[in-house]
Amino acid sequence: MPLHVTAFALATLFAAPALQDRPTQPKPRERSVAPTPASQPLELIGTVPLPGVQGRLDHMACAEGRAFLAAHDHGSLEVIDLKARSTVRSIGGLPEAQGVAVAGAMVLVTSGGDGKVHAFEAATLNSRGEFSVGADADNIHAPRLPVDVAFVAAGDSIRRITTAGIVSENGAALGSHPEGFAFLHRGLEIAPSRIVANVPATREVKVIDLKDLSVEFTWKLEDASANFPIAVQEIRTDGAHIDRVRIFVGCRKPASVVILDGLSGAQVARVSCGADVDDLFVDSAGRLLAVCGGDGGSVDVFVHESDLSPGRERWARAGRIATLPGARTGLLLPPVQGAKARLLVAAPARGDRAAELRIYEVK
């Protein structure tokens, strides 16, 4: 596949977005946290105020104890120290910031307002330039390997990019703008071999071969539409080979999660969830599903209760946790060094209440 090298280099050939250290002021006091009922599957253990950040909050990524949050309407990347529970930096100049990915030592941020990807060093937050990827640059994800590669949804396609500013000349042609997408693996491979992507305009899930970014399969959703977020569960029954795959498709009409067999595309289960779903996650053990909905603000948690035979799959609701209005994006962090898994939820400002990042512990 031909590659086009943009006029981007790691030596900052472009004007860097404004790096805005917050004014020196007393550290905002963490808002008091009401206790979570013992029966709920998530416990709110802390909040981080985001003073001055207005409007919609979009997706986030995490690396080295920091959360990187795209503040869409504010046009910034908010950098948050999760251990200290405080903001580190606000990087401005990112019109309609939407997606964030960590690729190797770089943080990549999409800005739909100018159709670009902006690159920053994860450790220092120094700008490493920007490059064009197409209209409405949106979701962006980076696989574990290769470490210098990411994939970005822009226009009507998904394109391969590198942290050195190389953008694939041709992307996966999807016919309409893709929303959420996730990686699929094969056998023992660490690097992914495919992408599954939501295309809401046509109520489809498309499977893309990463060798040439061609569309391999197209699956039409039954009785569901406005499919935005997506997640993948790959089950390794012998600890190595993947022999079962589930794809979780978050839909807004009606508000539900449709669960597909990842090999055939057949629907194997469906659960109702809160309205305006924009993010969903499956834990590493494949037994817990968390769904973030912004209409009213909630996280629906489901647990897997049956075997994976077709027609017998069941995800039972473990609880619905009230968050805050508009809080529809999040990030599930796996357990680390004995600590439990945590779910981050981004809550935008409303009235006199400042925006905040909410930290939940998975019980």
pLDDT for position 33: 54
Token pair of 247 as six digits: 């794809």
Instruction: Provide the pLDDT for residue 294.
Output: 81
In a domain, 123, yes or no: yes
* Residue 350 located in a structural domain: yes
Structure tokens at 164: 């050195």
Q: Which long-range contacts (CB under 8 A, 24 or more apart) does 248-251 make?
A: 248/280, 248/282, 248/289, 249/198, 249/205, 249/221, 249/224, 250/180, 250/277, 250/278, 250/279, 250/280, 250/291, 251/221, 251/224, 251/225, 251/226, 251/227, 251/277
d(CA 48, CA 184): 33
For 22, the 3-state DSSP assignment is coil
Q: Does residue 73 lie in a domain region?
A: no
Instruction: State the DSSP string of 48-85.
Output: EEETT--S----EEEETTEEEEEETTTTEEEEEETTTT
Q: What is the residue whose two structure tokens read 């690396």? A: 63
Q: How far is CA 169 from CA 59, 127, 147, 158, 165, in A?
A: 26, 24, 20, 11, 12
Q: Is residue 356 part of a domain?
A: yes
pLDDT at 16: 43
Task: State the 10-residue block means of pLDDT for the chain, 363 residues long.
Answer: 38 41 46 61 97 97 96 98 97 98 97 98 96 96 94 97 91 97 84 96 98 97 97 78 87 97 93 96 88 92 77 87 96 90 97 97 94
Token couple for 138: 């949106």
23 domain residue, yes or no: no
Q: Which amino acid is at 121?
A: E
CA distance 57 to 100: 12
* 336 in any annotated domain: yes
89 occurs within a structural domain:
no
Domain count, the chain: 1
User: What pLDDT is attached to residue 242?
Assistant: 74
- Establish if 26 belongs to a structural domain: no
**pLDDT attached to residue 37:** 62
pTM of the model: 0.88
Q: What distances in angstroms separate CA 288 from CA 196, 233, 332, one per listed residue?
A: 20, 10, 11
Q: By residue range, what is the domain housing residue 228? A: 99-362
CATH of the domain at 256: 2.130.10.10
For the chain, give percent helix, strand, coil, nearest 5.
0, 50, 50
- List, in sequence order, every beta strand (DSSP E) within 305-353: 315-322, 329-333, 342-347
pLDDT in the model for residue 9: 37
CA distance 268 to 258: 8
Q: How many other CB atoms sit within 10 Å of the CB of residue 84?
A: 12
